[in-house]
Amino acid sequence: MIYFFRKLKSYKLKAISYKLNKGMTYIELIVVLIIFTIMSSVVIFNYGDFQSRIDLKNLASDIALQVVAAQKASLSGLQPVQIPTVSPWKPAYGIYFNSSGVNSKSFVYFVDLDNSNFASGGNCTGECVNYFAITKGNYVSRIDSYVGAVATSITNPICVTFKRPNSSAIFSYSDGTTVTGFDYMQITVSSPKGKTSLIKIYPSGRIQVN
C-alpha cells in the first residue's frame, strides 16, 4: 500500500513538472506579439507627437530670444559691423518675419542701418546680421494683429524693430508703413502634424511665448 501511494505521488509530481515545463502554444505566442505590437505603436506615436511639441516650443523660444536680443542691442547702442547709411544713426535692430512661401521657413535678425524700421537685402546681405533657417518641417504659419480677441491676418512681410532710446516695439511693412492700433502681434509657428506654438509681441516690447 505504501508503495502504491509513493508511485501515485511520483506520478503527480511528474504531471505537475510537465505542466510547469510545458512551453507557450502558438496562439499564446501570437496574442503576446499582437499586444506587444499595439503597445509599441502607441509609444512610438506618442513619442513623435511629444517630440513635435518640443521642437515647436524650442523654435518659439528661439524666436523670442532673438526679439529680446534685438531689443537689448538697440538699447545698449551696439555698433554694427556694417556702416550705417544715415547720419546721425540711431541704434536700431529687429526681426523680419514672413508667413508666405519659402520665406516662412526662416526669419532674419537685422540691423536697421537706414532707420527705415524694415530689413533691406536678402539671403543675409545688406542689413542682415543672422539668418535663421527653420528646420524639421516647421514654419511660420500666421502673423496676426489682435485687438482684444479679434484677429486681423497679416499676409505681408513684417518687421519688429527696436530703436534707441525706447524699449517699445515698432511694427512695419516693407513699404515703410507702421502698423498701429492693436494690442499685440502674434506669430504662429506650426509643425507638419498641425501642432502650433505662439509668440506674442506687445507694442510695449513685452514678449510672451505660449
Ranges of each domain in the chain: 44-209
Q: For residue 170, what are the CA distances in angstroms to 19, 88, 106, 113, 209?
A: 80, 19, 20, 15, 19
Distance between CA 111 and CA 130 in Å, rounded?
10
Averaged pLDDT score across all residues of the chain = 85
pLDDT at 20: 47
pLDDT at 160: 96
For the question of whether the overall pTM of this predicted structure is more than 0.85, the answer is: no
In CATH terms, 44-209 corresponds, of 3.40.50.300, 2.60.40.10, 3.55.40.10, 3.60.20.10, to 3.55.40.10
Grid cell locating 130: 543672422
**Sites in the chain below the pLDDT cut of 70:** 1-24, 40-48, 121-123
Grid cell locating 6: 509513493
pLDDT at 113: 94
